[in-house]
Structure 1
Amino acid sequence: MEAPTAVARPAEGRRPDLSRDVATLPKAHLHLHFTGSMRHSTLVELAAERGVQLPEALVQDWPPRLRATDERGWFRFQRLYDIARSVLQTPDDLRRLVRETAEDEAAEGSGWLEIQVDPSGYASRFGGLTPTVELVLDAVREASAATGVGIGVVIAANRTRHPLDAKTLARLAVRYADQGVVGFGLSNDERRGRAYDFEGAFRIAKRGGLLSTPHGGELLGPGSVRECLEMLEADRIGHGVRAVEDPRLLARIVDRGVTLEVCPASNVSLGVARSAAEVPVRALYEAGARIALGADDPLLFGSRLARQYALVRDGHGFSDAELAELARQSIEGSAAPDSVRGRLLAAVDAWLAS
Structure 2
Amino acid sequence: MGQVPIPSPPPGRRDLRALPKAHLHLHFTGSMRHTTLLELAARDGIVLPDALVEHWPPPLSAADEKGWFRFQRLYDVARTVLRTPDDVRRLLREAAEDDVADGGRWMEIQVDPSGYAARFGGVTAFTDLVLDAAADAAATTGLGIAVVIAANRTRHPLDARTLARLAAQYAGRGVVGFGLSNDERRGTTTDFARAFAIAERAGLLLVPHGGELLGPAHVRTCLDDLHAQRLGHGVRSAEDPALLDRVVADGVALEVCPTSNVALGVYSDLSSVPLRVLLDAGATVALGADDPLLFGSRLAAQYATMRAAHDLTDAELAELARMSLRASQAPTDLRSAALADIDTWLAQSPA
TM range (shorter): over 0.9
Query: What is the match of residue 52 of structure 2?
Result: 58
Taking a change above 3 Å as real, the CA distance of residues 32 and 18 of structure 1, as seen in their structure-2 partners, is farther
- In the alignment, which of 319, 341, 346 is matched to residue 313 of structure 2? 319
- CA separation in 2, counterparts of 1:296 and 1:39? 13
Partner of 2:3: none
Question: In structure 2, what is the Cα distance between the partners aligned to 1:51 and 1:122?
Answer: 19
| 2:155 alignment counterpart | 161
Give the aligned residue type for 1:267: N
Aligned-residue offset at 1:49: 0.4
Distance in 1, Cα, partners of 2:11 & 2:347: 13
Aligned equivalent of 1:69: 63
Q: Does 1:135 align with 2:122?
A: no
Q: Is the Cα contact below 8 Å between 1:17 and 1:319 reproduced in 2?
A: no
1:261-284: CA deviation from partner (whole Å, max 9, x where unpaired): 000000000000011110111110
Q: Which residue of 2 aligns with 1:5?
A: none
Match of 1:184 among 178, 186, 207: 178
2: CA distance, partners of 1:330 / 1:210 = 18
Query: SS in structure 1 opposite 2:100?
Result: helix
2:37 pairs with one of 22, 37, 43: 43
Q: Distance in 2 between matches of 1:154 and 1:34?
A: 10
User: Aligned equivalents of 2:69 and 2:301: distance in 1?
Assistant: 26
Q: Deviations over 1:59-91 (max 9, x none)?
A: 110000000110010000000000000000111
Q: In structure 2, what is the equivalent of residue 268 of structure 1? A: 262
Using the TM superposition, give the Cα deviation of residue 195 of structure 1 relative to its aligned residue in structure 2, in angstroms: 2.0
| SS state at 2:119 partner | coil
SS at match of 1:190: coil
Matching of residue 95 in structure 1 with residue 89 in structure 2: yes
Residue in 2 aligned with 1:332? 326
Query: Percent identical across equivalent pairs?
Result: 67
Report matched runs for 1:282-297 at 5 Å. 282-297=276-291
TM-score, structure 1 normalization: 0.95
Q: Distance in 2 between matches of 1:116 and 1:171?
A: 16
Residues 17 and 232 of structure 1: is their aligned pair in 2 closer, same or farther, counting only changes over 3 Å?
A: farther
Q: Which residue of 2 aligns with 1:222?
A: 216
* Alignment partner, residue 166 of structure 2: 172
C-alpha contact (below 8 Å) 1:18/1:320 kept by paired residues:
no
Once residues 118 and 172 of structure 2 are traced to their aligned partners in structure 1, the CA distance between those partners, rounded to angstroms, is 25
Which residue is 2:115 aligned to?
121
Q: Which runs of 5+ in 1 are unaligned?
A: 1-15
- CA separation of 1:346 and 1:17: change in aligned 2, threshold 3 A: farther
Offset from partner CA, 1:276-326 (integer Å, 9 cap, x none): 110111110101000000000000000000000011100011100000000
Aligned to 2:194: 200
Contact 1:144 1:151 in 2 (8 A): yes
- How far apart in 2 are the matches of 1:56 and 1:324? 39
Deviation for aligned residue 1:18: 5.1
Residue 10 of structure 1 corresponds to: none
Superposed, 1:213-252 pairs within 5 Å as 213-252=207-246
Distance 1:194 1:26 in 2: 38
Q: 1:23-54: per-residue Cα shift (whole Å, max 9, x none)? A: 11000000000000000000000000011101
Following TM superposition, the consecutive aligned residue runs of length 4 or more in structure 1 with deviations greater than 2 angstroms are none
Find the aligned partners of 1:303 and 1:182 in 2 and give their Cα distance. 25
SS in structure 2 opposite 1:69?
A: coil
| Cα separation, 1, equivalents of 2:177 and 2:224 | 17
Q: Distance in 2 between matches of 1:92 and 1:342?
A: 33
Structure 2 Cα separation of the partners of residues 39 and 18 of structure 1: 32
> Could you tell me how far 1:194 is from its partner in structure 2?
2.6
Deviation digits for residues 205-226 of structure 1 (CA, Å, limit 9, x no counterpart): 0110100000001111111111
SS at match of 1:335: coil
Contact 1:17 1:320 in 2 (8 A): no
Distance 2:198 2:47 in 1: 40
* Secondary structure, aligned partner of 1:124: helix
- Where structure 2 has 5 or more consecutive residues not aligned to the other structure, the ranges are 1-9
Q: Deviations over 1:105-143 (max 9, x none)?
A: 100101000000000000000000100000000000000
In structure 2, how many angstroms separate the alpha carbons of the residues matched to 1:229 and 1:288? 18
> How many Å separate the matches in 2 of 1:32 and 1:315?
22
CA distance in 2, matches of 1:289, 1:17: 29
